[in-house]
Chain A
Amino acid sequence: MLDQAAWEELVARFDGRMWAVARAFGLSPADAADAVQGAWLRMVESLDGIRDPERIGAWLITTTRHEAVRLSRRARGEVMADHELPDVAGPDPAAAIVDADFGRHVWQRLHTLGEPCRSLLRLYVLNPDAKYAQIAIRLNLPVGSIGPTRARCLSRLRTLVQDDDA
């Protein structure tokens, strides 16, 4: 069973990743704080059900992701049941690799993209609260194109990273 010291080690190890994941879903700082706190409270509820400490990190990040999706849908006015939870025993294994080391690898791949992907993704990554209009002005692109271009560029980046793994 975890004690306070072990709990604080978990916080130190994972809360930065949980925050980054919540913010990557486009949540405001206030909503991201709620998503991260929600994941820790689910952890408090689920302590007895977690048998495999190796999976705690992936579970925390998967649960943060779940809460972030719920909050982002709520921010868009969608109604959603609030009691569906990721399986304690089956967190998303990809969640475990979200960290700064992996991020440096992804940056290397980002730098190999052509324009406008390279500049657009760089601006989007470095300015989490930037509006599409601001990015459009910086890159001299139509504001309506930013969302679709961002989606296409992120998809290309993901393909590059996945090819590395293959």
Chain B
Amino acid sequence: MSEEYLLAALRMAAGVDPVPGRVSADARAAFALRLPGGVIAAPVRVSAPPGARSATAPGTSPETGTYGTAPEGGPVMRRFTADGLTIDIEPAVVGGRLEVAGQVSPPPGPGWEVEVRTAHISKTRAPSESGHFAVSGLPPGWVSVVCHRPGLPPVSTRWLHVRA
């Protein structure tokens, strides 16, 4: 029994600080974000990222393989793989808006689309011949990238939390 659980239960019993309505609304809406038949791509540690946006990823620590924040600033590349597909993404918050650059590999086939999803807004792009894509103007927060391939199951990255 953690002390945080005691505190949470005390507040619930007292009726203080109830869950805000928008948090509940977002929770109800999250169900629509499932991808039936889709494959979830797991994160893979990368120690020498090629960098979809920049030549190096200054926030990536080769010693620990830690990634998740960029202590020196700048985007950090994350790699996800599943079903023979690799999705590299570099999310960054610029001017309060979320930008996501990335690359799918192997190079995309005809009709492939990359969808960058947040809780409320999704943007779809056709990747370049080399598999690169970029999306901007999204709200910071949780983001996931889905690769749609005709005749194959969609592959989505795990949801990733990105704040400035």
Q: Which A positions have Cβ atoms within 8 angstroms of B?
A: 2, 4, 7-8, 11-12, 15-21, 23-25, 29, 32-34, 36-38, 40-45, 47, 65, 67-68, 70-71, 74, 79-83, 94-95, 97-104, 106-107, 110, 121, 124-128, 154-155, 157-158, 161-162, 165
Q: Which B residues touch A162, using CB under 8 A?
A: 1
A44 touches B13 (CB 8 A): no
Q: Which B residues touch A103, using CB under 8 A?
A: 8-14
B69-102 interface with A by 8 A CB criterion: 69, 71
Name 25 A/B residue pairs within 8 A (Cβ), A-sorted. A11-B27, A16-B19, A19-B23, A20-B19, A25-B4, A33-B20, A33-B23, A33-B26, A34-B161, A37-B27, A37-B141, A38-B159, A41-B142, A41-B144, A45-B158, A79-B69, A80-B66, A81-B66, A82-B67, A83-B43, A97-B9, A98-B9, A103-B13, A125-B7, A161-B1
B69 touches A126 (CB 8 A): no
Q: Which B residues touch A65, using CB under 8 A?
A: 2, 4
A128 touches B8 (CB 8 A): no
A100 touches B141 (CB 8 A): no
A34 to B141, CA, bound (A): 7
A106 touches B66 (CB 8 A): no
A44 touches B30 (CB 8 A): yes
- Give the distance to chain A from B138, nearest Cβ to Cβ, in Å: 15
- Give the distance to chain B from A76, nearest Cβ to Cβ, in Å: 12
Residues A106 and B9 in contact in the complex (CB < 8 Å), given A11-B27, A34-B161, A38-B159: yes
A4 to B34, CA, bound (A): 11
B8 touches A81 (CB 8 A): no
A94 to B6, CA, bound (A): 10
B161 touches A38 (CB 8 A): yes
B1 touches A158 (CB 8 A): yes
Specify the main secondary structure of chain A where it touches its partner. Answer: helix
Residues A106 and B6 in contact in the complex (CB < 8 Å), given A15-B24, A34-B141: yes
The answer, among B26, B33, B66, for a CB contact under 8 Å with A79, is: B66
Q: Which A residues touch B43, using CB under 8 A?
A: 83
Residues A21 and B28 in contact in the complex (CB < 8 Å), given A15-B23, A41-B33, A44-B34: no
The answer, among A82, A102, A107, for a CB contact under 8 Å with B161, is: A82
Q: Which A residues touch B24, using CB under 8 A?
A: 11-12, 15
B14 touches A24 (CB 8 A): no
Q: For the complex, is B151 an interface residue (Cβ under 8 Å from A)?
A: no
The answer, among B10, B17, B28, B142, for a CB contact under 8 Å with A8, is: B28
B11 touches A82 (CB 8 A): no
B8 touches A21 (CB 8 A): yes
A100 to B18, CA, bound (A): 11
A24 to B22, CA, bound (A): 19
Residue of B nearest to A6 (CB): B31
B85-138 interface with A by 8 A CB criterion: 119
Q: Which B residues touch A110, using CB under 8 A?
A: 10
- Give the distance to chain A from B118, nearest Cβ to Cβ, in Å: 10
